[in-house]
Chain A
């Protein structure tokens, strides 16, 4: 660990930290505070700190009933996408980690291109394709589209983890007479489990927040997941701020729970990938 023992953090560093706290801590506190206000308090002055906290925004949001079904929709889409993506991406990442040569180079290049492609370039043709397949207004369509969006990301993130599994382990398994599939499932996968957990978490987070496919492929707001509901309401009116902030907080709570359990993993997994 690089630590400058002599000086320690100086005044510049402390100023920077204060700025970071203002930039990242305050907005979070602010939405929580706002979600506890009465709409009438917000109209007069949004910047006031003195107000009577109320759960009106939450009870109203939850009372409308639509929110619960949106939450279930979010959960189904995110969980479905995570499962499909991992099922497809894990073997692919392993294959591409173990086989070299031109095919792999081309495959990796294509994956990078897919990952960089803006979602607009796929939402337009997929809307047409799903229309002709009768897959519009169905969760399955959104799950499939989300998976196609995230599989390149997942493969590229997983591959270094599989490359880090020593060849010798697999050879030992082969000498013991294990078949390739068994070597993969009972030797390689357990060693690379951190990579799988990191990737699974990120895929879940990303599909939880995805709204462009949801808003276009699901035809009525009644079947929107939370993210699409929030996107639609904020871009449409933006008047009932406490209600919207309550919706934002409710959308974030599952992320917070997941984050608490996986923060360590994310911190390590992300940087491991990026700095080898």
Chain B
């Protein structure tokens, strides 16, 4: 469920530091301004110790030789050897390629599906309320649960293969999760399925924000449902979809739980994305240095994504 954060945090508080309208002594003692940064202190300390310090350790490990034996000893500095090793084994480029495909599939399906669901559920009524409730509940379920369910449904004698064979579309079970070509797409489809409810919820709020008069005006002008969607709905949700697109990219990029549960990176290396590869290298092959190097690369990619996100949010707030 770890979606990106749905709020828009980058805009700096626009109100000036001190209103200054009623300058009483109390107000001044109250210290409107920087004094209240003290409230941030506990979080700053907590994250410095348990987030930033680990990231520094990660960077140190990525340029050292760290194995299970030396994990808590002293590490030999090896420069970029871990990065080179990752590249030469071919794992890195393969994982990078997988990550790109995975992110594209999840983002496109997540956005299109989310918008379609939002349009389908935009009329108020008992049925759409119930459907929305079911979808948000599915989104709220732990990814482990959803991943297990789909592993079961996509199995050789699972529901999906049962239906496919019953309708005669194929006479052998489709190896959704253990075929080199299908596995990555299957997991990406399930990941899109898991994020669509959240995107639908956000898109729906944007759709409901369109004034009723706009629709009435469109109908007076003789617009059919498709024209309504094209000329009224789509322009109205454009700013939302920009931010949502970045959030979905991040969600897909970070995806770990579904891969772990459904394919564990396999068959072979076919569902290794960059974050998952880093995990395997560290905790299955016990080469913590190599895993750290891969993880450092993912953090660098996150820095780029965060920059894009901050810019798209600021752009929307200015519109």
Contacts and interface: CB of A to CB of B under 8 A. Distances in A.
A230 B148 contact: yes
Given A131-B71, A159-B9, A274-B6, A9 B123 contact: yes
B310 interface: yes
Interface string A230-274: 110011001001001100100110011001000100110011011
Contacts of B2: 153, 206
B141 interface: yes
A27 B121 CA distance: 20
Interface in A151-169: 151-153, 155-157, 159-160, 163, 167
A115 B138 CA distance: 22
Given A2-B208, A131-B72, A117 B61 contact: no
Given A101-B17, A180-B30, A205-B1, A120 B279 contact: yes
Contacts of B282: 120, 123-124, 127
A87 B46 CA distance: 11
B142 A209 contact: yes
A8 B71 CA distance: 64
Contacts of A89: 43
Contacts of B152: 31, 34, 46, 238, 241, 244-245
Given A105-B12, A120-B278, A175-B22, A28 B134 contact: yes
B7 A273 contact: yes
Contacts of B148: 230, 234, 244-245, 248
Given A47-B158, A121-B295, A205-B140, A115 B1 contact: no
Nearest to A26: B159
Interface in A13-35: 13, 16-17, 20-21, 23-28, 30-31, 34
Interface residues of B, number: 138
Interface stretch (A50-58, A61-69, A90-98): A90-98
Interface stretch (B86-94, B100-108, B180-188, B249-257): B249-257
Contacts of B201: 267, 270-271
| Chain B binding surface, main DSSP class | helix
B174 interface: no
B198 A118 contact: no
B134 A25 contact: yes
- Looking at A151, A212, A270, which has the most chain B CB atoms within 10 Å of its CB? A270
Contacts of A31: 149, 152
B35 interface: yes
B216 to A, nearest CB: 8
A119 B254 contact: yes
B110 interface: no
B34 interface: yes
Nearest to A17: B120
Contacts of A104: 12-13
B213 to A, nearest CB: 9
Contacts of B6: 157, 270-271, 273-274
Contacts of B240: 274-275
B114 to A, nearest CB: 11
B199 to A, nearest CB: 10
A151 B66 CA distance: 29
Contacts of A72: none
A115 B299 CA distance: 11
B261 A235 contact: yes
B206 interface: yes
A160 B8 CA distance: 8
B235 interface: no
B295 A92 contact: no
Contact of A116 (B32, B125, B283, B302): B302
Nearest to B28: A174
B69 interface: no
Contacts of A125: 54-55, 57-58, 61, 292
A31 to B, nearest CB: 5
A128 B71 contact: yes
Interface string A93-111: 0111111110111011111
Contacts of B47: 110, 114, 148, 151-152
Given A144-B50, A241-B152, 7 more contacts: A25-B134, A28-B137, A87-B42, A100-B14, A119-B256, A206-B2, A263-B136
The 5 closest A-B pairs by CB, nearest first: A209-B142, A47-B162, A95-B39, A273-B7, A271-B205
Interface of B: 1-2, 4-10, 12-17, 19, 22, 24, 26-27, 30-40, 42-44, 46-47, 50-51, 53-55, 57-58, 61, 66, 71-72, 116-117, 119-125, 127-128, 131-138, 140-145, 147-153, 155, 157-159, 162-163, 166, 193, 197-198, 201-202, 204-212, 214-216, 219, 225, 228, 240, 243-244, 250, 253-254, 256-257, 260-261, 264, 274-276, 278-279, 282-283, 288, 291-292, 294-296, 298-299, 302-303, 305-306, 309-310
